[in-house]
């Protein structure tokens, strides 16, 4: 007879399959033009991502002030990241999606659940999973909290620290798919970890919040450049953009290098390690590699 751990493992995977079926129903509804809103499992998973990567920090209130307490959830960063992941990445599959791509946020959420299940199966989680953690990502007692508690996968049930541990497991996952004839899709799940951590941090500390309606085309967006309008700018003391920040400061040159040439504008350091900034661009030198017989395996 299976032991208790085996039964719990089976129950978790069955629960994951149920949520997968619900997510598929949301995707089908979207393709049919039915507005069911965001898949609740995807939504709570990305709230859990943001809560772990850019959390609230109440411990900073006494030291730095109350303005340093709010995290990514307080400015709707989770919704932005879902939009960014769904609309900003193309997989080169012209058979699917409006721009030859497919929404990836739902798939990312399920990959994170798989990593979380692996973490728990290995006994590497520091705290026991709990649905109450998913509910705590919303206002206590709200409909959204109850919905999140029901829809939460294993990733959203983990503590903040355990979620980051689960993300680190993604480097072990690799996948190869052939969704259509002559199409090979190779996937390294470690990229998911880089995406959900790196892009979440990058977006939070960028200027996105100051645009307001960020889903409009870039040509229709205007930014107030007001530090008070962007939470991360307030927290970091960033004064906003200013003329000249992106100006060319010179060309880098060092001993034996021809990248920078002509009159030296300024020299940084002394001796052999000194680096020059020059007014001229110089030139690239040939390397020592013979690539004359190289053929690109995928010319397209």
The pLDDT score that the predictor gives to residue 300 is 47
Strand-pair partners of 175: 187
Name the pLDDT band for 34 (thresholds 50, 70, 90): very low
> Any idea where the domains of the chain sit in the sequence?
4-204, 248-300
pLDDT digits (tens, 9 = 90+) for 69-88: 999 999 999 999 998 888 77
Say which residue, 198 or 243, is predicted with more confidence.
198
Closest residue by Cα to residue 49 from 212, 167, 186, 188: 167
The pLDDT score that the predictor gives to residue 54 is 96
Looking at the chain, how many residues does it have? 300
The pLDDT score that the predictor gives to residue 281 is 78
Distances (CA, A) of 189 to 77, 94, 112, 167, 213: 22, 22, 9, 9, 31
Averaged pLDDT of the chain:
80
Strand-pair partners of 275: 254, 268
Say which residue, 241 or 38, is predicted with more confidence.
241
The pLDDT score that the predictor gives to residue 298 is 64
Work out the average pLDDT over 210-218.
Answer: 78
The pTM score is 0.68
Q: How far apart are CA 53 and CA 72, in angstroms?
A: 8
pLDDT digits (tens, 9 = 90+) for 257-283: 667 777 888 888 887 777 878 877 776
Name the pLDDT band for 287 (thresholds 50, 70, 90): low
pLDDT digits (tens, 9 = 90+) for 148-175: 999 999 999 999 999 999 999 998 887 6
Distances (CA, A) of 117 to 46, 148, 194, 210: 17, 18, 19, 38
Distances (CA, A) of 89 to 5, 179, 271, 284: 39, 18, 47, 33
Distances (CA, A) of 16 to 28, 36, 37, 55, 170: 18, 21, 21, 26, 17
């Amino acid at each position: 007879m299976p032991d208790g751990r085996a039964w719990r493992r089976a129950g978790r995977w069955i629960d994951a399959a149920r949520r997968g079926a619900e997510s598929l129903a949301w995707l089908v509804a979207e393709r049919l033009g039915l507005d069911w809103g965001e898949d609740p499992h995807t939504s709570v998973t990305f709230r859990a991502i943001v809560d772990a990567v850019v959390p609230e920090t109440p411990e900073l209130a006494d030291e730095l002030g109350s303005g340093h307490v709010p995290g990514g959830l307080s400015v709707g960063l989770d919704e932005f990241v879902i939009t960014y992941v769904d609309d900003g990445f193309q997989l080169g599959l012209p058979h699917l999606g409006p721009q030859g791509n497919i929404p990836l946020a739902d798939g990312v959420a399920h990959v994170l659940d798989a990593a979380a299940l692996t973490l728990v199966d290995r006994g590497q989680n520091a705290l026991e999973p709990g649905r109450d953690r998913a509910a705590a990502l919303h206002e206590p007692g709200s409909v959204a909290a109850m919905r999140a508690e029901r829809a939460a996968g294993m990733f959203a049930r983990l503590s903040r620290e355990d979620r980051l541990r689960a993300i680190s497991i993604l480097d072990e996952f690799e996948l190869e798919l052939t969704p259509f004839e002559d199409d090979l899709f190779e996937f390294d799940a470690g990229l998911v970890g880089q995406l959900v951590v790196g892009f979440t941090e990058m977006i939070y500390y960028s200027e996105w919040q100051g645009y307001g309606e960020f889903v409009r085309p870039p040509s229709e967006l205007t930014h107030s450049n007001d530090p008070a309008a962007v939470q991360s700018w307030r927290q970091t003391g960033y004064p906003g953009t200013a003329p000249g920040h992106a100006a060319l400061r010179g060309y880098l040159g060092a001993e034996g290098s021809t990248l920078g040439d002509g009159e030296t504008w300024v020299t940084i350091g002394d001796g052999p390690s000194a680096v020059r900034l020059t007014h001229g661009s110089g030139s690239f030198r040939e390397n020592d590699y013979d690539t004359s017989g190289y053929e690109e395996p995928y010319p397209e």
